[in-house]
Amino acid sequence: MVLLLLLLATYSVHFAILSFLSAGLWWAINWFVAELNTAQAVEDEKKRRLEEIGPGEDTETEAETVIDTGDPTSSSKEVEVIERKGELKDRGGSGGSKSEISTEDEWERVSENEKDK
């Protein structure tokens, strides 16, 4: 209402835009409150039904998951054992970690390529 009076007093388009935004916000808040009331009514209905049935009876079914482990000593037949075919060789030589050695090798290759150009 105040925005309408300001619109009439100043003839500014800003008050028209603010009035539109205020109306949209008012509608959104009312819609949200209506949704909350609907959800609360559903919850109240569930509670009322549970009270009518009694404390000893359940309306919801509970399921238990049973995992059959079978024989604990048996192994899976899908796993394949891989034999070692040889030993790993250390290509780094002496000193430094493998990451340092590989980085130095890369820099040497880059340097060689630049000299070729």
Residues 6+ apart with CB under 8 A from 16: 7
Return the residue matching tokens 């916000």. Answer: 25
- Asked if 3 and 18 touch (Cβ cutoff 8 Å), the reply is yes
The DSSP secondary-structure symbol of 7 reads H
pLDDT in tens, the chain (117 residues): 777 787 788 888 888 788 889 999 999 999 999 999 999 999 999 999 998 887 655 555 666 666 666 665 655 567 676 777 777 666 665 555 555 557 777 777 777 777 776
- Looking at the whole model, is its pTM more than 0.75? no
